[in-house]
Amino acid sequence: GAVVSQHPSRVICKSGTSVKIECRSLDFQATTMFWYRQFPKQSLMLMATSNEGSKATYEQGVEKDKFLINHASLTLSTLTVTSAHPEDSSFYICSAKDRTGGTKIVSSYNEQFFGPGTRLTVL
Amino acid sequence: EDQVTQSPEALRLQEGESSSLNCSYTVSGLRGLFWYRQDPGKGPEFLFTLYSAGEEKEKERLKATLTKKESFLHITAPKPEDSATYLCAVDSWGKLQFGAGTQVVVTP
């Protein structure tokens, strides 16, 4: 249980194009989803927090006009990397937090469950 | 400023050789300490949540403990399939702050 999926798992694009990554909670409802970026040999860095039906909150240093986040439903959040450049190449991972009092799957509303990640390569 | 520090950076173990990973933290108002396992090219897999000093949780060969300043992840009689990067994170005002991780390699 508590499964989070991401699509695509891997994407290669040309510099200047935009790429959309989807994050879905498959068996629970997530009022909050998070987007992380992970560079090789480094840990996860939070980019933004996404709440269903409201604007995302971005971490310091993350350009909100470059990384567009939409959280249109309780099971779907999307991250669009606009005008991607080679330095945007990274491993992007989303996570979802179960609603308080939600499914029986999770034991605590504080737990975040992660997707499998999307490897973005910008040529 | 909240900080999470994991040690060692890397650990190489023989199969069956038990060891411990350390996660020390400073955070204003701990709302939970989390352990995750991450395999190469994959997202983190949830292992444990600890909330208060003295708490312990176990899952197969893994046992996590928590004090007011640090957490330990004990690996008992590890197997090669336990090879992974183990990440520690603290919940800081609803957001997870991760340590750099400990890469564990277990050889047969």
What are the pLDDT digits (tens) for B35-60?
Answer: 999 999 999 998 999 999 999 999 99
Query: In chain A, what residues touch B91 (CB-CB under 8 Å)?
Result: 110
Shortest Cα–Cα distance, B51 to chain A (Å): 10
Query: In chain A, what residues touch B36 (CB-CB under 8 Å)?
Result: 114
Per-residue pLDDT tens over the stretch A15-45 = 999 999 999 999 888 888 999 999 988 889 9
Neighbours of B12 (CB within 10 A): 13
Chain B residue closest in CA terms to A94: B43
Residue B99 CB-half CA count within 13 A: 29
Q: Does residue A110 carry a pLDDT above 70?
A: no
Tokens 């350390």 found at: B22
Query: Closest to A112 (Cβ–Cβ): which among B42, B96, B99?
Result: B96
Chain A residue closest in CA terms to B86: A43
In the 8-state DSSP scheme, what is residue A61?
Answer: T
User: Is A117–B32 a contact, with Cβ atoms under 8 angstroms apart?
Assistant: no
Shortest Cα–Cα distance, A26 to chain B (Å): 16
